[in-house]
Amino acid sequence: MLFHPRLPVKVLGLTFQGIFPKRQHQFAQKLGKLVSEELLSFKDIEAKITDGNNLKQVMPIVETHIDNFLRNKLASEMPIISMFIGDKTIEQLKSVFMKELESLFPLLMTSYMEKLKDELDLEAIVTEKVSNFSSDKLEEILQAIMSKEFRFIEVIGAVLGFLIGIVQVFITWIGG
């Protein structure tokens, strides 16, 4: 009854459908809300991206590119200027650029995250994707996550059914 029947089936005026296929859209909405608010918030992503330690890891790559630009690309694009710039000037320019970029990157990333937050609705994306899962795919995912719990429910159901059957037999035997 959790997964089957996948499509509504009418029997004697009653409609039967598996719980997960029947509630797939509600499940998708709740999961979308959970992901966007609790699991993958833009504030957490922004904090990680603008964290000083993470920026320090990126800065050597940026410095390499600036060095390559000043030594090679500038020389090919503007040969006259490059004739007047020596190693000492390149290092000074690179130092000034790096200081400016260290203060610019957190502002740039914060601004970008605000724009991304406005344009990217995580809740809607997750809700749409889960709603569009086929019933087979949804069952496969939930079985992978909850197979032990489903097995426990089956065993408890069997044990309870057996005990109720014994009680009914005992009541019938005493009453008859």
The pLDDT tens digits of the residues spanning 79-112 come to: 888 778 888 988 999 999 999 988 888 888 888 8
Query: Which pLDDT score is estimated for 176?
Result: 64
Q: Which two tokens stand for residue 118?
A: 């406005």
Give pLDDT, residue 32: 84
Q: What is the C-alpha to C-alpha distance for residues 70 and 75, in angstroms, rounded to an integer?
A: 7
pLDDT at res. 66: 92
Output the pLDDT for position 162. 93
Query: What span, in angstroms and rounded, lies between the C-alpha atoms of 61 and 142?
Result: 42
Q: Considering the domain boundaries, does residue 143 fall inside one? A: no
pLDDT at residue 155, rounded to an integer? 87
User: Could you tell me if 69 and 13 are in contact, meaning their C-beta atoms sit under 8 angstroms apart?
Assistant: no
Please indicate, yes or no, if residue 86 is contained in any of the structural domains. yes
Instruction: Quote the Cα angle for 106-109-111, to 5°.
Output: 105
The structure's pTM equals 0.49
**Which of 54-68, 113-127, 134-148 is most confident?**
54-68
What is the residue range of 121's domain? 9-133
pLDDT > 90? residue 163: yes
| Residue 165 within any structural domain of the chain | no
Does residue 110 lie within any of the structural domains? yes
What does the mean pLDDT of the chain come to?
A: 83
From 39, 13, 63, 46, select the one nearest 112 (Cα to Cα): 46
pLDDT > 90? residue 64: yes
- Whether 160 is in a domain gets the answer no
Q: For residue 72, which phi and psi values (nearest 5 degrees)?
A: -115, -55
Chain segment 8-51, per-residue pLDDT in tens: 788 888 887 777 777 778 888 888 888 877 777 777 877 887 77
Structural domain count, the chain: 1
Measure the CA–CA gap between 112 and 49, rounded to whole angstroms: 11
Selected residue with higher pLDDT from 7 and 105: 105
Give residue 1's pLDDT: 61
Residue 173 inside a domain? The answer is: no
Q: How confident is the model at residue 63 (pLDDT cuts 50, 70, 90)?
A: very high
Q: Please state, as a whole number, how many other Cβ atoms lie within 10 Å of the Cβ of residue 69.
A: 16
Token output for 10? 């009418």
Is the pLDDT at 142 greater than 80? The verdict is no
